[in-house]
Amino acid sequence: MNTAPKSSFVLSSRHMLGIEKLSYSDIVGLLDLAEEFVLLNRQVEKKTSSLRGRTVINMFFEASTRTQASFELAGKRLGADVMNMSVSSSSIRKGETLIDTAVTLNAMHPDLIVMRHHASGSVELLAQKVDCSVVNAGDGQHEHPTQALLDALTIRRRKGDIGGLTVAICGDILHSRVARSNIILLGALGARVRVIAPSTLLPPDIDRFGVEVFRDMREGLSGVDIVMMLRLQRERMNGSFVPSVQEYFTFFGLDQKKLAYAKPDALVMHPGPMNRGVEIDSSVADGTQSLIREQVEMGVAVRMAVLEALSRNLPNA
Amino acid sequence: MPVDRRDSTPLLLANARIVDPSRDLDFVGDLLIADGVIREAKRGIVSAGVPEGTDVIDCRGKVVAPGLIDMRAFIGEPGAEGRESIASATQAAAAGGVTTIVCQPETEPAIDDPTIVDFIQRRARDTGIVHVYAMAALTKGLKGEEMTEIGLLKAAGAVAFTDGMKSVTNAQVMRRALVYARDFDALVVHHTEDPDLTGEGVMNEGEFASRLGLIGAPKAAETIMLERDMRLVGLTEGRYHAASITCPESLEVLRRAKDAGLRVTASASINHLTLNEIDVGPYRTFFKMSPPLRAEPDRRELVAALAEGLIDVVMSDHNPQDVEVKRLPFAEAAPGAIGIETMLSAGLRLVHNGEVKLATLLRALSTRPAELLGLSGGTLRPGAPADVIVIDPEVPWILDRDTLKSKCRNTPFDEARLQGRVVRTIVTGRTVYEFV
């Protein structure tokens, strides 16, 4: 067994509901703690015992492979008992079971619940109904805080300071919780944030989020340090938001030609899963500037940091 | 249907500030009620002597006004008595100074048949303590396809025609309904919303919705439908009432129509006059409304329109919803709030803030709806039915939702600091509510 992390950081709130609710010192504290777990995760012996005896329930109302696996691994490496519950949204009568399930689970005395749900605000609703700590693993189109934290950690490790960097977030901003969390987080850390998308995929009043708005990839990518691509759901490419895959890829897909407008040392990120040939060309996704695999690695470390930090606020800790 | 439980004891409301918007009267004096009707309202009846056995109530510092007429309230009878019955709705109404409720047709079955109008009238007579009138469906089954029996429904007692929270999207259906209703001098009340443009929108479109990750409903969805309707009213010369206006763009359309002499009037809900989108806060579903609460500048313009009379009527949009349909993620929760009991107190906020004169508020809550619906209330004229309220305009209080008389608890004013309340509600000369 390895020793517990040295950082004595404690989160200022009981839940991890969104980046919006974190203070600057919360953010930096989590990133610093995550750094320690990155080192741990690269060792042969990857386990600690700081969450030994704790129960973590992963409750996913929306299909997810990587986030769920990442949280599961994070919990296990901290020594917690992890239970995975996948509740397919088709088998439930909308949110009714959300509260019911929450009450049921609460009776089993979990210490942490990690939840993903298709409705914005659902994780906050759950947090009001249970006694344990709650982690938002993505709620509708609202927030996905651990994704933003892992993105920030990835950038920080490669670029040093995030302050002063220019980051372009490209694609389906409208439906993206990743974009919302990243806009808040990167802004808080002093980055200049741009969003690039066709107007149909931009949230109303997005300019009031403190971002620069572009509708043209070449203009928007000019001189940026980081290019963050977002996934575009297939059902949104049939004419409802953009006319076709081909048209979208032509104007907004990231290929080598468009990437050339960014700084020569610009790095490319994607929260996954990727639609190759839709929002990103394979040559870019697998190219030397891509950080996509590193993001996945940072994901486990960040989630360990979040679980660890929240557990320090639990009773009898 | 009017409640008729005349109390033979004459009643004198003495030394009150008497506000009668129907005659532009505002003076300190006495109001005499006998045999269920208003006998006199003037300075100093006391000194002139009152009839033998008159019950004299000192109303010093209080306001005496016509009972309120709530032009848009959902009651669950028939079919959804668990949400609200006529008994519970009229109890809540009495406690809120509402002496007449105009119930909406979205019942189960819908009020699209004269027998259902009759049913509601009989239930109101047997179980209600204030007057209840039915607003009938404009189209059969509220489907927006075929018009209802407007003539027969009106003869049965329906006071206006509406598809409730639904818009009639087919312009041809709307045109025919308007022109047919005109022949019966029937009022068509319409919820103006283009459902395609609203789409899956659940709150006001804008920065706040974007931050919450909720799909917004644009104001244009309301204004576009209202503009279409103004063209149809011009074409048909029908009598039209916009059910719930929420934004300055719609007010402009309304102003143009009124200036052009069209027979058009409009309501605003108490919610849109006193709350805004920020109240939604962390996904509070009691603030989910249809149409959605708008931004603060929109609210202010709506209040200004009320103050100048462009908005004719203030209504509660009373919509009782069970906990089961409210304790859900915001997008999945049912819209609507109860409001019949808190409408006046919430409205008095506008008076205390100096945004609206008391007489203007009371006119929009009583006289105007009576005029539009052809009801005999909304006035303190001698000979009118004694539907009267006594208001303490100054008393401060905090709303506790558990004290409300409605069957549901979905009030947006829980724990709100309010100033002013109804202390006595009189229906046809009989006191049906007294605050002690």
Q: Is A95 on the interface with B (CB under 8 A)?
A: yes
Give CA–CA dist B77/B104, Å, rounded: 10
| Distance from the B84 Cα atom to the nearest Cα atom in chain A, whole angstroms | 22
| Distance from the B203 Cα atom to the nearest Cα atom in chain A, whole angstroms | 12
For chain A, what is the mean pLDDT?
93
CA A256 to each of CA A132, A167, A214, A268: distance values in angstroms, whole numbers, following the listed order = 47, 18, 19, 11
User: Do the beta carbons of residue B37 and residue B379 sit within 8 Å?
Assistant: no
Kindly determine whether residue A177 and residue B213, on different chains, have CB atoms separated by under 8 Å: yes
Give CA–CA dist B175/B187, Å, rounded: 13
Residue type, A188: A
Range B269-294 average pLDDT: 97
Kindly determine whether residue B329 and residue A142, on different chains, have CB atoms separated by under 8 Å: no
Among B285, B279, B288, B289, smallest CA distance to B329 is for B285
Size of interface A-B (CB pairs under 8 A): 72
User: End-to-end alpha-carbon separation of chain B, Å?
Assistant: 29
Mutation target for B interface from A97, A101, A125, A206: give the one with most B CBs within 10 A: A125
- Helices and strands: H and E segment counts in chain A: 11, 9
The β-bridge relationship of strands B160-162 and B131-137 is: parallel
Range A127-133 average pLDDT: 93
Say what angle helices B171-183 and B219-236 make with each other, to 10 degrees: 50
Find the length of chain A.
317
Closest residue in B to A93 (Cα) is: B332
For residue range B27-55, list pLDDT tens digits in order: 999 999 999 999 998 887 766 678 888 99
Range A28-39 average pLDDT: 97
For residue range A175-221, list pLDDT tens digits in order: 999 999 999 999 999 999 999 999 999 999 999 999 999 999 999 99
Kindly determine whether residue A209 and residue B207, on different chains, have CB atoms separated by under 8 Å: yes
Task: With beta carbons under 8 A apart, name residues in chain A contacting B327.
Answer: 99, 125
Task: With beta carbons under 8 A apart, name residues in chain B contacting A139.
Answer: 213
DSSP string, B272-330: HHH--GGGGTTT-GGG--SSPP--HHHHHHHHHHHHHTSS-EEE--B----HHHHSS-G
Task: With beta carbons under 8 A apart, name residues in chain B contacting A121.
Answer: 212-214, 282-283, 329-331
Say which of A95, A98, A121 has its CB closest to residue B212: A121
Say which of B283, B324, B327 has its CB closest to residue A121: B283
DSSP string, B2-44: -------S-EEEEEEEEEEGGGTEEEEEEEEEETTEEEEEETT
Three-state SS at A271: coil
Closest residue in B to A120 (Cα) is: B213
Give the residue numbers in B contacting A (CB under 8 Å), as ranges: 205-207, 209-216, 218, 282-283, 324, 327-333
Hey, which residues does B265 pair with through a beta bridge?
B241
Kindly determine whether residue A119 and residue B330, on different chains, have CB atoms separated by under 8 Å: yes
Give CA–CA dist B232/B179, Å, rounded: 9
Kind plus residue range of the DSSP H or E element containing B135: strand B131-137
Sign for the pseudo-dihedral over CA of B396, B401, B403, B407? positive
- Burial zone of A277 (CB within 10 Å; 0-12 exposed, 13-18 middle, 19+ buried): middle
Kindly determine whether residue B331 and residue A125, on different chains, have CB atoms separated by under 8 Å: no
For residue range B137-188, list pLDDT tens digits in order: 999 999 999 999 999 999 999 999 999 999 999 999 999 999 999 999 999 9
Instruction: Read off the pLDDT band of B100 (50, 70, 90).
Output: very high
DSSP state of B383: T
Residue type, B214: L
Residue type, A160: G
Closest residue in B to A17 (Cα) is: B282
Instruction: Read off the pLDDT band of A90 (50, 70, 90).
Output: very low
**What is this model's ipTM?**
0.92
Place of tokens 């007449």: B100
Q: What is the pLDDT of residue A236?
A: 77
pLDDT above 80: residue A284: yes
DSSP string, B101-124: EEE-S-SSS-S-SHHHHHHHHHHH
DSSP state of B374: T
Kindly determine whether residue A205 and residue B214, on different chains, have CB atoms separated by under 8 Å: no
Residue type, B64: V
CB-based contacts of A26: which residues, under 8 Å, 6+ apart?
Answer: A11, A12, A13
Kindly determine whether residue A94 and residue B328, on different chains, have CB atoms separated by under 8 Å: yes
- Burial zone of B26 (CB within 10 Å; 0-12 exposed, 13-18 middle, 19+ buried): middle
Q: What is the pLDDT of residue A1?
A: 44
Place of tokens 């917004």: B216
Q: What are the catalytic residues of B?
A: 317
Beta strands in chain A (DSSP E): 55-60, 81-86, 112-117, 133-139, 166-170, 192-196, 212-214, 226-229, 267-269
Sign for the pseudo-dihedral over CA of B145, B151, B157, B160? positive
Side-chain-side CA neighbours of A127 within 13 Å: the count stands at 22
Sign for the pseudo-dihedral over CA of B279, B283, B289, B294? positive
For residue range B383-404, list pLDDT tens digits in order: 999 999 999 999 999 999 999 9
The β-bridge relationship of strands B417-427 and B388-398 is: antiparallel
Say what angle helices A66-77 and A24-41 make with each other, to 10 degrees: 80
Mutation target for A interface from B200, B205, B208, B210: give the one with most A CBs within 10 A: B210
Give CA–CA dist B385/B372, Å, rounded: 17
- 3-state SS of chain B: helix, strand, coil percent to 5? 35, 25, 40
Range A116-120 average pLDDT: 94
pLDDT above 80: residue B113: yes
For chain B, what is the mean pLDDT?
96
CB-based contacts of A28: which residues, under 8 Å, 6+ apart?
Answer: none
Q: What is the pLDDT of residue B218?
A: 98
Tokens of A148: 């933003």
Kindly determine whether residue B213 and residue A209, on different chains, have CB atoms separated by under 8 Å: no
Give CA–CA dist B64/B59, Å, rounded: 8
Closest residue in A to B216 (Cα) is: A204
Mutation target for B interface from A59, A100, A118, A142: give the one with most B CBs within 10 A: A142
Tokens of B50: 């009152």
Q: What is the pLDDT of residue A250?
A: 96
Among B100, B157, B24, B23, smallest CA distance to B377 is for B100
Say which of B324, B327, B329 has its CB closest to residue A119: B329
Q: What is the pLDDT of residue A4?
A: 59
Task: With beta carbons under 8 A apart, name residues in chain B contacting A140.
Answer: 213-214, 329, 331
For residue range A156-173, list pLDDT tens digits in order: 999 999 999 999 999 999
Side-chain-side CA neighbours of A253 within 13 Å: the count stands at 23
Say which of A96, A180, A208 has its CB closest to residue B207: A208
Give CA–CA dist A311/A313, Å, rounded: 5
Say what angle helices A177-188 and A145-159 make with each other, to 10 degrees: 50
Kindly determine whether residue A95 and residue B328, on different chains, have CB atoms separated by under 8 Å: yes
CA B73 to each of CA B35, B134, B294, B324, B432: distance values in angstroms, whole numbers, following the listed order = 29, 10, 21, 21, 19
CA A106 to each of CA A113, A129, B283: distance values in angstroms, whole numbers, following the listed order = 9, 8, 22
Three-state SS at B213: coil
Find the length of chain B.
436
Say which of A96, A98, A120 has its CB closest to residue B213: A120
Among A205, A290, A222, A58, smallest CA distance to B218 is for A205
Instruction: Read off the pLDDT band of A99 (50, 70, 90).
Output: confident
This prediction's pTM: 0.93
Q: In chain A, pLDDT over 90 holds for what percent of residues? A: 84
pLDDT above 70: residue A2: no
Range A91-100 average pLDDT: 63
